[in-house]
């Protein structure tokens, strides 16, 4: 069994309640769920949010949209992630985050296939990024996730779930999935108001014609509107992770 876990919370500091902001009248995180459900190799999906009162609205949104929801620790995200996974007893877990409404279901399937064929413990497209920021996907063997849950101690490793794996390459086999072309300079994640504006413009242009629009459709649209890329080009990739390290 391969289980998807989507991390999402309402208490974002840089863009409060970003996961609930509407895109074409639907909460952003539900737009992301729509795209994740198109992945053919996932056997299930759980949205993992916190037990903090600020995330009551996230749980309510899940119920309204028939999305399975788990609530756990606000700060120990590794524990939340593990607890959301444990009852399902999957063989592998796919980690996704709720700030990526342009997530690519075909890429999810490709990375899962890469992970399984390589018999890796942990695989991702973030070790050496070549995909746009916002198409981040990680896959981990459940037994290794359990080891990390027992062993990881640092704030970085508890708060960001997966650094424990690539910090210990001597313990785990790591799969590094890369694209042939480096598009890592593109920013499709949503952490800032400018990010949300860009993603909204993309949805407004592409979704009405084809709700299952692809990454190539996004690239073609941005090529026809090159000024849009400048909307959020001044923001740093993985700023939240860098703040934890500092």
Series of mean pLDDT values for 10-residue runs along the chain (246 residues): 97 86 98 98 98 97 98 96 95 97 98 98 97 98 97 93 96 97 96 96 98 98 92 65 40
pTM of the predicted protein model:
0.92
Exposure pattern of 200-217 as b/e (b: 16+ CB <10 Å)? bebbebbbeeeeebebeb
Which of 10, 61, 67, 15 minimizes the C-alpha distance to 36?
Answer: 67
Position 13 scores a pLDDT of: 75
Which of 159, 158, 108 minimizes the C-alpha distance to 138?
Answer: 108
* Alpha carbons 7 and 100: distance in angstroms, whole number: 10
Tokens of 117: 């064929």
Residue 235 CB partners (closer than 8 Å, separation 6+): 187, 191, 192, 194, 195
The two beta strands, 92-97 and 22-23, are: unpaired
> What secondary structure does DSSP assign to 30-67, as a single string?
HHHHHHHTT-SS--EEEEEEESSGGGHHHHHHHHHTT-
Position 175 scores a pLDDT of: 98
Tokens of 29: 């995180």
Position 233 scores a pLDDT of: 78
Position 242 scores a pLDDT of: 44
Instruction: Report all structural domains of the chain as residue ranges with CATH numbers, in order of start.
Output: 2-245 (3.90.550.10)
Exposure pattern of 33-68 as b/e (b: 16+ CB <10 Å)? bbbbeebebbeebbbbbbeeeebeebbebbeeeebe
Which of 187, 199, 191 minimizes the C-alpha distance to 233?
Answer: 187
Position 243 scores a pLDDT of: 43
């Amino acid at each position: 069994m391969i289980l998807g876990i989507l991390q999402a919370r309402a208490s974002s500091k840089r863009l409060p309640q970003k996961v609930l902001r509407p895109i074409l009248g639907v909460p952003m995180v539900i737009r992301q769920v729509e795209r994740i459900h198109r992945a053919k190799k996932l056997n299930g999906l759980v949205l993992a949010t916190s037990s903090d009162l600020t995330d009551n609205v996230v749980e309510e949104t899940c119920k309204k949209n028939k999305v399975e929801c788990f609530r756990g620790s606000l700060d120990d995200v590794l524990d939340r992630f593990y607890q959301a996974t444990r009852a399902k007893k999957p063989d592998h877990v796919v980690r996704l985050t709720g700030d990526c409404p342009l997530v690519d279901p075909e890429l999810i399937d490709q990375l899962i296939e890469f992970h399984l064929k390589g018999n890796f413990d942990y695989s991702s497209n973030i070790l050496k990024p070549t995909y746009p920021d916002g198409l981040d996907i990680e896959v981990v063997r459940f037994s290794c996730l359990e080891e990390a849950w027992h062993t990881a101690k640092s704030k970085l490793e508890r708060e960001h779930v997966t650094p424990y794996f690539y910090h210990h390459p001597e313990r785990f086999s790591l799969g590094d999935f890369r694209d042939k072309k480096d598009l890592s300079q593109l920013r499709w994640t949503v952490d800032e108001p400018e990010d949300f504006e860009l993603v909204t413009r993309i949805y407004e242009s592409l979704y009405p014609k084809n709700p299952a629009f692809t990454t190539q459709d996004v690239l073609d649209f941005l090529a026809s509107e090159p000024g849009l890329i400048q909307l959020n080009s001044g923001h740093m990739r993985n700023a939240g992770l860098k703040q934890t390290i500092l």
